[in-house]
Amino acid sequence: MTSRFVPYATTPARLLRQLTSDIVVAIWVVIWVLVGMAVHAAVSTIADVGRQVQTGANGVAENLDSAGNSTDDVPLFGDALATPLRAASEAALDIAGAGQSLDNTASWLAWVLAIAVAAPPILFVAMPWLFLRLRFFRRKWTAISLAATPAGEQLLALRALANRPLAKLAAVSDDPVGAWRRQDAAAIHGLAALELRAAGVQRLRR
- Tell me the pLDDT tens digit for each residue of 3-44: 667 788 888 888 899 999 999 999 999 999 999 999 998 888
Q: State pTM to two decimals.
A: 0.71
Closest CA to 109 of 55, 45, 35: 45
- pLDDT at position 88 over 70: no
Residue 108 CA: distances (Å) to CA of 101, 147, 158: 11, 54, 59
Residue 10 has, within 13 A of its CA and on its CB side, a CA count of 18
Q: What is the pLDDT of residues 137-166, one digit of tens each?
A: 998 888 888 888 889 889 999 999 998 988
Cα–Cα distance, 122 to 159 (Å, whole number): 36
**Cβ neighbours around 112 below 10 Å, total:** 12
- pLDDT at position 100 over 50: yes
Cα–Cα distance, 117 to 177 (Å, whole number): 56
| Burial classification of residue 25, based on how many CB atoms lie within 10 Å of its CB (0-12 exposed, 13-18 middle, 19 or more buried) | middle
For residue 116, the one-letter residue type is A
